[in-house]
Amino acid sequence: MLKNRFLLFLVLFVTLSYSQVKNPVVLINARAQQDKILLRWAVNSPIEWQKANKKGFIVTRTTVLRDGNVLSKPEKMLLTLKPLLPEPLDSWLDFVQRDNNAAVIAQSIYGESFEVAGSKEGELSKIVNMADELDQRYTFALYAADMSFDSAVKAGWGFVDSNVKKNEVYAYQVSVFETPKVKESSYVIGLKDYTALPAPTDFIAIPDDKKVMLSWDYETFKRIYTSFMIEKSSDGINYEPISNTALVNLNDKDDYPSKNMYYLDTLSMNDNTYHYRLYGINSFGEKGEMTKPITVKGVSAVVTSARLINYNIINSNEVNLEWDYPVASESFIQGYEINLADSDKGPYRVVSKIISPSERKLTYKENLYPSNYFTVSVVGKNNQRLTSQSMLVQPVDSIPPAKPIGLEGVIDSLGTVKLKWKANAEKDLRGYRILRANTANEEFVDIYHKSYIENQYVDSVSLKMTNRKVYYRIAAEDMRYNISEPSDILVLEKPDKIPPAAPIFKDYDNKDGKVYLKWIRSYSEDVVGYSLRRREKGQEKWLEIKQINDTIQEFTDDRVENKKTYQYAILAKDKSNLWSTLDHSVITVQVLDFTPIKIISFLEGTPDRENKKITLNWDYNKSKDKVTGLSIYKNVKGSQPTLWRELKGDLFTLEDKNLKINMEYEYHLIPSLLSGIPAKEEVLTVVY
């Protein structure tokens, strides 16, 4: 029976995280210290974790760097002479008296039953108690191992490598003994990777009425620390932990990662000064550097709001506001803030600094909206805000907006005109009037017929008309329909000969040794064809590989070589024989073909009942790829194959004497190539 209530809130989170695992794997973590390297691992499947506790773990180390140089022949060493298993139950008896986490791990491994109890009806533990018992063992054990590295080592889930050198870098591999189903993992580390554990940053306290919200940076440190501990002091000298157990963040999810971590502490009195400090704890049980202490006092809550009672409009950009607030409550607040919006529903913005608690008036001297909604907020000493109801203020406005400036534009080969200008700054701006004339002496006409709200506009002109220039002006209009002086005249010349718009690649793919290309056609209306070109990266000359009409938008290039990098370009040609540019019509593709290649050219198996053996013979294709080794998996037909032999690449025959009469055996041969390209598996069936 397990009664450690401090784990209740973690169980549901971890159980959900690990309840469905399709590809079991050993997850490994490592930590370099000044003279040794610590390893921790766990299987990411409850079922495989339970099996691994009986099979044991194998730890190997490969020296990959020495004095900063990569070793041509990495030095591999088996660190576990026998598989690491949990120590016998008797050896845990004294240990669990000193470490609650050890008791959790021992119960999860050796306990006949595993239940979560000791909590009241209706708490989160009631939900956890409904989970599968194996998941409970698994999740509790993983959490306890993170809290106690010594317990993890005792359980066979950790290892300390003291036989290390400062000038070397190692690759550690951890696997489950005789269990290829569970994928092994590696971790590269050396003593040079040692760093002191830092103090958490952004540790702040936000006071409230007889409570304080503590917050710190979680996102930066969640890969360093698995939990945190807060210490509290009333005199700044004697500190005590704020809780019996370390604090764990349960709100961090892949879709919604947490940036900060929070803890709410209650205070006995508002007037006392309290001191807090914080440190992190990693998965190896190491405590990080302590933060500098922060101090805080509780503050009284704001319970009374202010009330706007009068206003006086001085001009279109200035108004006097007046409000009321009890004098007796002034000592409990920082002051007031004035808020403004152009709608009663908001959004409101703060338009004043904090005003003294004794003040009751403010003159607002900024540009006003046609309709202005003001509120006043009482700001408490804990930055709590209590906001009044709104008051409507409407000034008289007969002043038009400023003359628009910065008008510019271009005309493309299709007669499309793109105009843009600098946006006006008036708060009551309704929009702009778009004016156009076809000749210098012609009257300008409003071509949009109403206010246009953006500061860029798309127009079209005919390229067949005899006028070679087009004239534009912009006028601003406010909410009271006051119209500004028109902008300076913009004169645009119609294009004579402009190349077509360039097509662009929208997608590409590289599979089975082929390159698949897709593109978006040029939007120019006079395009008559396209040219698809290719070159190897680094070369200057382009080779046309396809002439294309206007309907085709994709092409498959099967004349490429593996591991080469190519550049593709797509160009459009119009009726005037003008070609588009390559500025945005080039992509670079590296051809990578991972299709397994056939290496074994000959394979046979000869049963010999008289000598009680099966003789296997094979041969390889003549290829550029050198065969460095051969893995042979064996199984009785219908059962799961397991690794039977690992051979060098220069062997071509093998005898199997571990046989039973009247059985049908399958042999799976998988070569390993020096190039790293995957080789095709060959299967041989032999009836013995």
Could you say which of 393, 425, 451 is where a domain stops?
393
How many Å apart are CA 248 and CA 279, to the nearest integer? 13
Reported as type and span, the H/E element at residue 233 is strand 227-233
The answer to whether the Cα torsion of 92, 96, 100, 103 is positive or negative is positive
User: Is there a single domain that holds both residue 222 and residue 180?
Assistant: no
142: containing domain: 5-193
| Angle (deg, nearest 10), helices 100-110 and 133-147 | 150
With tokens 């080779």, the residue in question is 543
Confidence at residue 361, expressed as pLDDT on a 0 to 100 scale: 95
Q: Is 595 a member of any domain?
A: no
Give residue-wise pLDDT tens across range 339-383.
999 899 999 999 999 999 999 999 998 878 888 999 999 998 878
How many Å apart are CA 626 and CA 674, to the nearest integer? 5
Confidence at residue 122, expressed as pLDDT on a 0 to 100 scale: 43
With tokens 């202005």, the residue in question is 372
User: Is there a single domain that holds both residue 94 and residue 180?
Assistant: yes
Confidence at residue 115, expressed as pLDDT on a 0 to 100 scale: 59
How many Å apart are CA 301 and CA 213, to the nearest integer? 14
Q: Is 386 a member of any domain?
A: yes
CB distance 193 to 69 below 8 Å: no
CB distance 581 to 533 below 8 Å: no
User: Is there a single domain that holds both residue 59 and residue 10?
Assistant: yes
Residue 145 neighbours by CB under 8 Å, 6+ apart: 40, 42, 101, 105, 151, 152, 155, 157, 158, 283
Confidence at residue 249, expressed as pLDDT on a 0 to 100 scale: 84
Q: Is 312 a member of any domain?
A: yes
- Provide the 3-class DSSP secondary structure of residue 328: helix
Residue 501 neighbours by CB under 8 Å, 6+ apart: 412, 522, 523, 524, 572, 580
Q: Is 646 a member of any domain?
A: yes
User: Is there a single domain that holds both residue 608 and residue 647?
Assistant: yes
User: Is there a single domain that holds both residue 80 and residue 61?
Assistant: yes
User: Is there a single domain that holds both residue 385 and residue 436?
Assistant: no
How many domains does the chain divide into?
Answer: 6
CB distance 151 to 42 below 8 Å: no
Q: Is 235 a member of any domain?
A: yes
CB distance 387 to 370 below 8 Å: no
User: Is there a single domain that holds both residue 110 and residue 45?
Assistant: yes
Reported as type and span, the H/E element at residue 12 is helix 8-18
Instruction: Look up the CATH number of the domain holding residue 649.
Output: 2.60.40.10
User: Is there a single domain that holds both residue 288 and residue 348?
Assistant: no
How many Å apart are CA 123 and CA 510, to the nearest integer? 54
User: Is there a single domain that holds both residue 187 and residue 66?
Assistant: yes
User: Is there a single domain that holds both residue 448 and residue 352?
Assistant: no
Confidence at residue 11, expressed as pLDDT on a 0 to 100 scale: 36
How many Å apart are CA 636 and CA 660, to the nearest integer? 10
Q: What angle do CA 666, 671, 675 make, to 5 degrees?
A: 160
Q: Is 398 a member of any domain?
A: no
Confidence at residue 120, expressed as pLDDT on a 0 to 100 scale: 39
Q: Is 463 a member of any domain?
A: yes
What type of residue is 13?
F
User: What is the edge-to-edge ordering of all strands in the sheet holding 642-648?
Assistant: 642-648, 627-636, 664-673, 682-687
Could you say which of 546, 567, 590 is where a domain stops?
590
User: Is there a single domain that holds both residue 476 and residue 512?
Assistant: no
User: Is there a single domain that holds both residue 76 and residue 170?
Assistant: yes
Reported as type and span, the H/E element at residue 98 is helix 93-98
Cα 511 to the center of its chain, rounded Å: 27
Residue 130 neighbours by CB under 8 Å, 6+ apart: none
How many Å apart are CA 41 and CA 144, to the nearest integer? 13
Could you say which of 296, 330, 352 is where a domain stops?
296
Instruction: Encode 489-508 in three state secondary structure.
Output: CEEEECCCCCCCCCCEEEEE
Confidence at residue 497, expressed as pLDDT on a 0 to 100 scale: 64
Q: Is 403 a member of any domain?
A: no
Which residues in the chain land under pLDDT 50? Answer: 1-19, 116-128, 130
